Amino acid sequence: MHATSRVHGIDKVAENKIREWLHNRVDADTDNAKTKGKRLNHDRHKDLSRTLGVYHEYIHSKILANNNIKPESLDRRLELDSAWAQLKAEIQQTYNQRSATEGITLDEFVASQSTRFLFEDKIKLLDIKAKRVNDSIISDSLRFNGRSPVRHARRYNFEERVREAVTEEI
């Protein structure tokens, strides 16, 4: 789902550039087209802000990006997603090993003490990180024009997340 939304965003950027090029062009058959022989200027902030529907506020994100200023919530979200991807792979590998050797079902795996022993503390740490992401989103949205720079993080409930890790493909 995440990769699909990126493709649509890229498609929109491309469509906007084509529309801009067509608009700036005088006539395709004449030699005095405004853009003939010229490269289109690429401004990733302007294109992205137009795609996201906040076209008039692109200067703000451009200034932040050009000065290497990232919202704290963005760094925390990236850290959380990376930690969850690693833990998810570890949970999935453990389940695959145990189901192959012991014939354990998903319900038995989730309810087992050994699964709790291996992963409960790690999931609690992820839940704390998710809370920190959400807290930083609130403060960043106040700083960055009232918009949340990243999506909110879901809570990390042990049973729910173990099931999700096992059933999702990595």
pLDDT in tens, 133-143: 999 888 877 77
Q: Which residue, 14, 41, 66, sits at the end of a domain?
A: 66
- Both 134 and 82 in one domain: the answer is yes
- Both 37 and 57 in one domain: the answer is yes
Q: Which residue, 16, 36, 66, sits at the end of a domain?
A: 66
- Both 136 and 154 in one domain: the answer is yes
- Both 80 and 137 in one domain: the answer is yes
Q: Please list the alpha-helical segments (H only) found in 25-169.
A: 44-52, 58-66, 72-102, 106-111, 113-143, 158-167
- Both 110 and 134 in one domain: the answer is yes
Q: Who's near 129: CB < 8 A, 6+ residues apart?
A: 76, 79, 80, 83, 153
User: ∠ CA(134), CA(135), CA(138), 5° rounding?
Assistant: 90
Instruction: Count structural domains, the chain.
Output: 2
32: pLDDT strictly greater than 60: no
Q: Which residue, 66, 84, 104, sits at the end of a domain?
A: 66
- Both 76 and 141 in one domain: the answer is yes
- pTM here? 0.63
The parent domain of residue 56 ranges over 2-66
- Both 82 and 149 in one domain: the answer is yes
- Both 156 and 83 in one domain: the answer is yes
d(CA 78, CA 71): 11
d(CA 53, CA 65): 18
In the prediction, which pLDDT does 55 show? 55
For the chain, give the mean pLDDT: 78
SS3 88: helix
- Both 41 and 82 in one domain: the answer is no
Q: Who's near 147: CB < 8 A, 6+ residues apart?
A: 54, 141
